[in-house]
Amino acid sequence: MEDEEMADDEEAMDDEEMADDEEAMDDEEMDDEMASGPGLYFDVSNFPTLEGGVYYEGWAIIDGAPVTTGKFNVVDGKTVGPDGEEIEAFHIEEDLAAATAIIVTIEPAGDNDTTPSDTKFLAGDVNADGESELTIAHPAALGTDFSDAAGQFILATPSNGNDTDEFSGVWFLDPSGPSESLTLPTLPAGWVYEGWAVIDGVPVSTGTFLSAAGADSGEPFGGPDGTPPFPGEDFLLNAPDGVTFPTDLREVPIVISVEPYPDDAPTPFVLKPLVGMAPADAADHVLYDLGLNIDDLPTASIRIS
């Protein structure tokens, strides 16, 4: 009996080892087959490093459908995988040479599905040479380069009454109406606008919004009185670490950024189309201009070969 049981155990172990060897060979053959096909090469510019388990993901549009080319991040200008190792080229089972477009999305932490997120960052059509310049302005991405954006802001603190700490609030409105003071393109799904004041070097959010003609996401720092139905913030209470409220927003950078959604980063994303600053002798309730800031937008050159 013992000899028979031992023989059965040895046979089972041999079968298990053989199955493991065959599986390893299949994986190796698949890797070899993928590596032998064309690769997708990225040369990225002005990509920020994503944090908190958030990654970029490439997508090849093949036969009209998105096929993932893999997740990646950009660290010190280099494309790296989730393991931190530099990626020379991306390879997939499908024929990359059949790709008609390449899209880069931003995928939330914990993402493990096979479909692109709504947050499409860059895109570009692949030409006959297998090359493309990916931009935010492509219709499959944000669809704009923000060159038509414009805006103004005022310094005021409506939430604590008149003539009190008026330089401690910023509002994106025209007081003569009041009416909206921002001209911004409509964003596709997966993106929101966010206002910021960079106080003593610390970016402090004024709230997120989709429309310049309505209130933003909230007033966590405001006083007890009401506020106008436009984006903006009074910096009076509940100051975050590193800053003190009330404050003085004269000669303080005021920023409108474009943020991935969802997003909980404490600093502005790389897309900051409007930036301005009230002068040292600024008056409250007076409009000051925001200037275009689109000279260094993220781009990527890709090659399939």
The model's pTM is 0.88
Q: Within this chain, do residues 132 and 246 fall inside the same structural domain, yes or no? A: no
Q: Within this chain, do residues 98 and 114 fall inside the same structural domain, yes or no? A: yes
Range of the domain at 95: 40-143
What whole-number distance in Å separates Cα of residue 203 and Cα of residue 243?
10
Please give the pLDDT value at position 17: 53
Of the pLDDT bands very low, low, confident and very high (cuts 50, 70, 90), residue 35 is low
Q: Within this chain, do residues 176 and 127 fall inside the same structural domain, yes or no? A: no
Average confidence (pLDDT) over 225-237? 97
The yes-or-no verdict on residue 28 having pLDDT over 50 is no
What whole-number distance in Å separates Cα of residue 108 and Cα of residue 263?
8
CA 141 to chain centre: 12
Is residue 234 a contact partner of residue 160, using CB atoms and an 8 Å limit? Answer: yes
The reply to whether 14 falls in a domain is: no
The reply to whether 285 falls in a domain is: yes
The reply to whether 300 falls in a domain is: no
Domain boundary residue, one of 143, 170, 199:
143
What whole-number distance in Å separates Cα of residue 61 and Cα of residue 68?
9
Q: Within this chain, do residues 254 and 134 fall inside the same structural domain, yes or no? A: no
CA distance to 29, 156, 243, per residue, from 17 (Å): 18, 74, 63
Please give the pLDDT value at position 14: 54
Q: Within this chain, do residues 117 and 192 fall inside the same structural domain, yes or no? A: no
Instruction: Give ∠ CA 72-76-82 in degrees, rounded to 5.
Output: 25
The yes-or-no verdict on residue 143 having pLDDT over 50 is yes
Q: Within this chain, do residues 180 and 129 fall inside the same structural domain, yes or no? A: no
What whole-number distance in Å separates Cα of residue 121 and Cα of residue 283?
39
Q: Within this chain, do residues 166 and 247 fall inside the same structural domain, yes or no? A: yes
Domain count, the chain: 2
What whole-number distance in Å separates Cα of residue 141 and Cα of residue 103?
7
Q: Within this chain, do residues 97 and 226 fall inside the same structural domain, yes or no? A: no
The reply to whether 244 falls in a domain is: yes
Domain boundary residue, one of 143, 165, 193:
143
Of the pLDDT bands very low, low, confident and very high (cuts 50, 70, 90), residue 24 is very low
Q: Within this chain, do residues 272 and 161 fall inside the same structural domain, yes or no? A: yes
The reply to whether 19 falls in a domain is: no
The reply to whether 155 falls in a domain is: yes
Q: Within this chain, do residues 224 and 280 fall inside the same structural domain, yes or no? A: yes
Please give the pLDDT value at position 264: 82
Domain boundary residue, one of 143, 162, 178:
143
The reply to whether 12 falls in a domain is: no
Please give the pLDDT value at position 239: 98
Q: Within this chain, do residues 109 and 156 fall inside the same structural domain, yes or no? A: no
The yes-or-no verdict on residue 21 having pLDDT over 80 is no
The reply to whether 303 falls in a domain is: no
Q: Within this chain, do residues 246 and 279 fall inside the same structural domain, yes or no? A: yes
